[in-house]
Amino acid sequence: MTAPEIRILSVGSALPGSPIDNARLARLFHMDKVWEQWVDVFIGTRLRHLARDLETGEQSATLADLATIAASRALSAAGLPSGAVELMVMGTATPDMLMPTTLNVVADRLGINGIPTFQIQSGCSGAIQALELARHCLVGGGFRTALVLGGDTTAKHFDTRLDITSMPPAQLVNLILFGDAAGAALLTTEPSGGIAILHRVSTTLTGLGREPGQTLEWYGLADRGQERPPASENYKAIEESVPEMAAETLRSLLGDLGWKEADVDYLLPPQLSGRMTPIIVERLGLPGAEEVSCVAETGNTGNALPFLQLERALAEMAPGDRAVGVAIESSKWIKAGFAVERL
Amino acid sequence: MTAPEIRILSVGSALPGSPIDNARLARLFHMDKVWEQWVDVFIGTRLRHLARDLETGEQSATLADLATIAASRALSAAGLPSGAVELMVMGTATPDMLMPTTLNVVADRLGINGIPTFQIQSGCSGAIQALELARHCLVGGGFRTALVLGGDTTAKHFDTRLDITSMPPAQLVNLILFGDAAGAALLTTEPSGGIAILHRVSTTLTGLGREPGQTLEWYGLADRGQERPPASENYKAIEESVPEMAAETLRSLLGDLGWKEADVDYLLPPQLSGRMTPIIVERLGLPGAEEVSCVAETGNTGNALPFLQLERALAEMAPGDRAVGVAIESSKWIKAGFAVERL
């Protein structure tokens, strides 16, 4: 049997509020100029948008708010009513609540009903996992149009009452690395129209015997007495593993597609930080491909990132141009990649 | 194109510790005989297994512990090594942490690596959503063997320090209704072997404009000051909506299959409580079908339930017997159904 070609109709995204620079972050956390320069140089992320007012601690937007905006923009860009959506898949590491799912709240706000919806729990590979699941459902489930979403609002996990000068680096780094955002894409099995072909999506668990590079806790009321950190990052393990895993993902993706390195016009690399991403890009070794990154201006927005990159890439690409995207999930290590061709 | 037939190779399950009866629950919560009798009569759930020692508050098993046991039992029953698994899908409302996913911890313990894994966030429809996703991936993604899991450990969300005599009914009911468990099934596209054909799986969001019947919060450290209840249930809305939604699900499922009511030999109905399930079964009106329920002895185990029911049903069914399962997710209302035929 021949699988139908899957096309991307549109991509949309949403970033909360104004960008926050490192000088503002330093003021918020009562840190000095040296700290600010350390973030500039050793992290390399200059700006991020946060769905929370760090001065008051108030959430300014929920993940459902951002995802609804991103989805509405994708629907508008495709000129489709929400009633045309036959399937929804969303990836996030940071849902607003455990239940109901953020995706089903978004569906309600978009006026969508009577279809299957799937919210997957994942980190940096989540957007690509959501694209993969949507692709399998479109091919194997008889659906025509899928709305795929991804997003994270990590700032709600920060404990702003803590003195960050005494915070262990594994927690501190979360305050600097992450940004909040959501993204969405519409996929279709219709053989005409659309802006790109989604050639391949592939994700691979590679966590056997590896310690998590990152953990993110939730707390029930019963856990309130505990003092485990809400989020913790093994930045060293990430720095060591991600470039090699990204290279493996790219090799495997090109092999599956039968594409040569010279066939790739655009590269959407993992967006760990303004400093790490160039190291990964160099490791990937695609000198002919134009890099599409946004981490220095948005921070690591987790499940939103591949949508943010894809939106930028598709705006630049000419018909026939090919792009590959790579993301690595470091909490239990998933290699994820996808390939698109501009129509 | 003709979709391959999907077969069930085996089903496994895991329940933590010894069953806890209502007399023991009454003693734990310092409630009297009247309360115990009220639970017996008006809830109808006699026993449940909990992955937590309610006297000390200690968790006795994580969801990963239970899911690993259930998956190991399914693998043993099928006589398959874990290396034969090409895809894993898990449904849960109550993951151990947000990241890493419970599923990827289970994969690690089973020695599984190098495959795609998807953990979906869902309530009572989650096991069926996981079966549906696995089915689409098997049909559309070229995978041969999928390990599908579902489970919940709700007891970790209880705040046992609270005085339950002053607890609002919406919270109190959670302490009585739920049980902890995990289940697993192995699915294959191989056209021979196995114990049943998985004819159809279908889930439908039906939450448009409806308030959640249930909410389950998570708390980051930043939320510890807040006093929102960790879990809350609108039992009245559930009581009103679930029987009708279950009937709609059954009608739609039989229509899609081209089965008549008389074709159904076994019915696996929603397992809300020992009292609600008989009401739903009566509403479903399949007098010729044998009911397979476990809620009175296990409590509502959420994402584990359809596996527990399927395991019991398949043990009783004769070759050619047909069963339908129905579950309703009440946090934002998903109608879910599946149909199997014993080989």
pLDDT tens for A44-66 read 999 999 999 888 888 899 999 99
Tell me which chain A residues have a C-beta less than 8 angstroms from the C-beta of B88: 205
The per-residue pLDDT for B226 is 56
Tokens of A288: 């002919």
In DSSP terms, which residues pair with A196 in a beta bridge?
A8, A342
Q: Give the pLDDT mean for A183-198.
A: 96
Query: How much is the average pLDDT of A63-80?
Result: 98
For the cut 80, the answer to whether the pLDDT of residue B23 exceeds it is yes
Residue B169 predicted with pLDDT over 80: no
Structure token pair of residue A20: 């926050």
What is the reported pLDDT for A300?
96
Report the alpha-carbon distance of residue B209 to residue A112 in Å, rounded. 10
- At A215 the three-state DSSP class reads strand
pTM above threshold 0.90: yes
Cα distance between residue A335 and residue A249, in whole Å = 6
* Inter-chain CB proximity A141 and B141 less than 8 Å: no
Q: Greater confidence, B306 or B164?
A: B306
- Chain A residue with the nearest C-alpha to that of B160: A222
Integer Cα distance of B203 and B197 in angstroms: 18
Tell me how far apart the alpha carbons of residues A121 and B101 are, in angstroms, rounded to a whole number. 7
What sign for the dihedral angle of Cα A305, A310, A311, A316? positive
pLDDT digits (tens, 9 = 90+) for B188-220: 999 999 999 999 999 999 999 999 998 888 765
Burial of residue B324, with CB atoms counted within 10 A of its CB: 0-12 exposed, 13-18 middle, 19 or more buried: buried
Label residue B115 by pLDDT band (50, 70, 90): very high
Residue A32: how many CB atoms within 10 A of its CB? 10
Look over chain B and give the mean of its residue pLDDT values, rounded to a whole number. 92
At A193, is the secondary structure helix, strand, or coil?
coil
The amino acid present at A265, given as its one-letter code, is D
The answer to whether residue B287 neighbours chain A at the CB level (below 8 Å) is no
- The mean pLDDT of B98-121, rounded to a whole number, is 97
Closest of A19, A27, A20 to residue A164, by C-alpha: A27
Query: A100: cis peptide before it, omega within 30°?
Result: yes
pLDDT tens-digit series, residues B126-147: 999 999 999 999 998 889 999 9
Average of per-residue pLDDT across B20-35: 90
Mean pLDDT of B21-26: 92
Instruction: Write the residue in B104, B121, B157 that is nearest to A101 by C-beta.
Output: B121
DSSP string, B112-168: --SS-EEEEE-STTHHHHHHHHHHHHHHHH--SEEEEEEEE-GGGG--TTS-GGGS-
Residue A88 has pLDDT above 90, yes or no: yes
Here the tokens at position B167 are 């607890």
- Averaged pLDDT of chain A: 92
Question: Please, is A60 exposed, middle or buried when counting C-beta atoms within 10 Å of its C-beta (0-12, 13-18, 19+)?
Answer: middle
Chain A contacts of B136, Cβ < 8 Å? 133, 136-137, 139-141
Average pLDDT over residues A35-52: 93
Handedness of CA B13, B16, B17, B18 (dihedral sign): negative
**What is the rounded CA–CA span in Å between residue A246 and residue A265?**
17
Radius of gyration of chain B (CA): 19
The more confidently predicted of residues A306 and A31 is A306
**What does the CA dihedral B290, B311, B328, B37 come to, rounded to 10 degrees?**
70
- B203 interfacial to chain A (CB closer than 8 Å): yes
- Look at residue B233 in the predicted model and tell me its pLDDT: 83
B120 in contact with chain A, both atoms CB, cutoff 8 A: yes
Q: Chain A residues with CB inside 8 Å of B218's CB?
A: 95, 97-98, 218-220
Q: Which residues of B touch A114 (CB under 8 A)?
A: 204-206, 208
Q: Do B329 and B336 contact (CB within 8 A), yes or no?
A: yes
State the average pLDDT over residues A82-87: 98
Residue B76 phi/psi, 5° resolution? -60, -45
Closest of A93, A108, A24 to residue B209, by C-alpha: A108
Which amino acid type is present at position A89?
Answer: V
Amino acid identity of A270? Answer: P
Mean pLDDT, rounded, for B314-319: 98
Q: Which residues of B are less than 8 Å from A132 in CB distance? A: 116, 141
Q: What is the pLDDT of residue A222?
A: 47
Give whole-number Cα distances, B37 to B18, B22, B155, B165, in Å.
Answer: 21, 8, 22, 15
> Which among A95, A59, A100, A107 is positioned nearest to B216, based on CA atoms?
A100
DSSP assignment of B222-235 equals: GGTT----SEEE-H
Query: Is 60 exceeded by the pLDDT of residue B161?
Result: yes
Which of A170-179, B150-159, B252-261 comes out lowest in average pLDDT? Answer: A170-179
Q: Over the stretch B217-267, which tens digit does the pLDDT of each residue have?
A: 876 544 455 566 777 888 888 999 999 999 999 999 999 999 999 999 999
CB contact residues (below 8 A), chain B span 122-141, against chain A: 122-123, 129, 132-133, 135-141
Are B70 and B152 spatial neighbours (Cβ–Cβ below 8 Å)? no
Question: Is A42 in CB contact (< 8 Å) with chain B?
Answer: no
pLDDT in tens, A225-248: 556 677 788 888 899 999 999 999
Query: Contact B74/B12 with Cβ under 8 angstroms?
Result: yes
Query: Amino acid identity, residue A22?
Result: N
Q: Kindly state the percentage of chain A with pLDDT values over 70.
A: 95
Which of the four pLDDT bands, split at 50, 70 and 90, describes residue A220? Answer: low
Nearest by Cα to A92 from A318, A334, A310, A305:
A305
What part of B 163-202 touches A (C-beta under 8 Å)?
202
pLDDT at B133: 97
Q: Which of A27-36, A103-112, A226-235 has the lowest mean pLDDT?
A: A226-235
Span B78-85, average pLDDT: 98
Chain B interface includes A153 (CB < 8 A): no
Specify the pLDDT at position A57: 80
- Judged by a CB distance cut-off of 8 A, whether residue B332 touches chain A is yes
* Percentage of residues of chain B with pLDDT beyond 90: 77
> If contacts are CB pairs under 8 Å, which of residues 205-234 in chain A contact chain B?
205-210, 212, 214-224, 229-230
pLDDT band at A221 (very low <50, low <70, confident <90, very high): very low
Nearest to A116 among B57, B138, B205 (CB): B205
pLDDT at B55: 82
pLDDT tens per residue across span A313-331 = 999 999 999 999 999 999 9
State the pLDDT at residue B174.
Answer: 79
Which secondary-structure segment (H or E) carries B20? strand B20-21
- For residue A125, give the nearest of A210, A246, A10 by alpha carbon: A246
